[in-house]
Amino acid sequence: MNPGILRLLHLREQTEAAGETMASERGRFAALADPSAAPRVVSSFNLFQTPPALAERLAGYLLPVDGGILEPSAGLGRLYRAIRDAGHAGPVVMVEQSPQCCRELYELTVEDQHATLKQGDFLTRTAADLGGFFDGVIMNPPFKQWRDIKHIRHARTLLGPAGRLVSICANGPRQRAALMDEATDWIDLPPGSFIEEGTHVNAAIVVVDA
């Protein structure tokens, strides 16, 4: 066969193959082009979100809860989603200091009539500020400078009678010394539980019953 015709046939095969590849990728590129699907950068002091599977696990340790639930340092709402997905339809009060995170949380909860968002430093909040005491607390506090210890201890003061607190904390010697004796249960998490969120910190789940 004429070499020129062979080249043309080869080019046609390449073009057809490229067309098939483009067709198979069309949906992915359409999704990337959708502005609502584009990732948004959110900055917050020491923000490491709870991995979704771990958030679901924390909700399992907490629920069922008949009354209100408090989520301090709510971040971008991973724990809020977990307790709603697990079936809790009652009141949820979220406290978050970062203005950017609060904007994201507002968009997430604007149609939820039983969700309340309060911006500010959780450590300065009292039961009177937050509408009373809570039957449940679920939290992933900041770890830096042992702030998780302060946040968990403050959250305990907001539990009502027979309330339960479920929190993540750093699994370090200070946390173990400060919190293990107060805990109803202490669950060591596997190394690397937060790698997908950008940190290698060792962590644990602490459960405290009032």
- Which tens digit of pLDDT belongs to each residue from 142-161? 998 999 999 999 999 999 99
- The structure's pTM equals 0.78
Per-residue confidence (pLDDT) for residue 36, from 0 to 100? 47
Total number of domains constituting the chain? 2
Residues 101 and 178 in one domain: yes
The pairing of beta strand 92-96 with beta strand 115-119: parallel
Residues 111 and 12 in one domain: no
Residues 33 and 96 in one domain: no
Q: Is residue 42 a part of any domain in this protein?
A: no
Residues 64 and 157 in one domain: yes
Per-residue confidence (pLDDT) for residue 48, from 0 to 100? 85
Q: Is residue 68 a part of any domain in this protein?
A: yes
Residues 24 and 105 in one domain: no
Alpha helices in the chain (DSSP H): 3-33, 52-62, 78-85, 99-109, 127-130, 147-156, 173-179
Per-residue confidence (pLDDT) for residue 8, from 0 to 100? 58
Cα 197–chain centre separation:
10
Report residues of the chain scoring pLDDT below 50. 18, 21-22, 25, 28-43
Q: Is residue 135 a part of any domain in this protein?
A: yes
Q: Is residue 43 a part of any domain in this protein?
A: no
Per-residue confidence (pLDDT) for residue 5, from 0 to 100? 64
Amino acid present at 146: W
Residues 12 and 104 in one domain: no
Residue 44 contacts by C-beta under 8 Å, 6 or more apart in sequence?
75, 97, 98, 100, 101
Residues 105 and 63 in one domain: yes
% of residues, the chain, pLDDT over 70: 78
Burial of 133 (0-12, 13-18, 19+ CB in 10 A): middle
CB-CB contact of 149 with 173 (8 Å): no
Residues 114 and 187 in one domain: yes
- Bond prior to 35 in cis (omega within 30° of 0): no
Q: Is residue 45 a part of any domain in this protein?
A: no
Tokens for 6? 């062979």
Q: Is residue 73 a part of any domain in this protein?
A: yes
Q: Is residue 47 a part of any domain in this protein?
A: no
- Which residues span the domain enclosing 172? 52-209
Residue in 131, 138, 183 with CA at minimum distance from that of residue 165: 138
Residues 31 and 106 in one domain: no
Residue in 115, 120, 139 with CA at minimum distance from that of residue 55: 139
Residues 20 and 56 in one domain: no
